[in-house]
Amino acid sequence: MHALIIRTSILGENSSSNQLIDHWLANHKPSQVTERNLVSSPIPHLDAERFGAINAASPDNQQAPIQALSDQLIGEIEAADEIVIGLPMYNFGVPSQVKAWMDHLARAGRTFQYTANGPQGLLENKPVTVIATRGGAYANTAHDSQVPFVKQFLAFIGLNDVSFVYAETLASSEKRPEALATAQAQLSAA
């Protein structure tokens, strides 16, 4: 199995999501791993120039490297059999690094197309495990803006087999060990 690992935490080795990704890797032992660390190797945020380059039908010399990055990110998803995304919650949303990654994945005619029935994802569906780490408890509440957004985006590009593993209340020193142990158990069973 070829796993694509997406690390997004600004906390490095102290990151709960990174620790849980490491737990997943240790338990699933994929034969091949591609890691994309969106913090140590950030993807530029979208602007008009970048948007034009990503979507150019015939990119010029300035646009070509920008579109090549988008192609590389899409290729990593296409090559993987399974995707694991570490997703800490920062200020009630996804890390901006994740949004920049998504902006480079959304390409009309490449990862999605509009049809008479609405948008259709063009990527081959495969399992995606999202490890959602949060200081508070947000799962299944109106304050969880991450899950609907991430599910909607992934489905938009064709990835519908998405499961979430939560490690919540991590800001509480009393609840943190149990929250991490529960998430580890779910990742081991998955």
Which residues participate in the annotated binding site for FMN? Answer: 9, 15-17, 89-92, 133-136
Q: CA 183 to CA 130: how far, in whole Å?
A: 11
Helix (H) or strand (E) holding 167: strand 162-167
Which of 150, 148, 108 lies closest to 128, judged by CA? Answer: 150
Q: Which residues are annotated as a binding site?
A: 9, 15-17, 89-92, 133-136
Q: CA 114 to CA 134: how far, in whole Å?
A: 34
Residue 105 and residue 73 in contact, taking contact as beta carbons nearer than 8 Å: yes
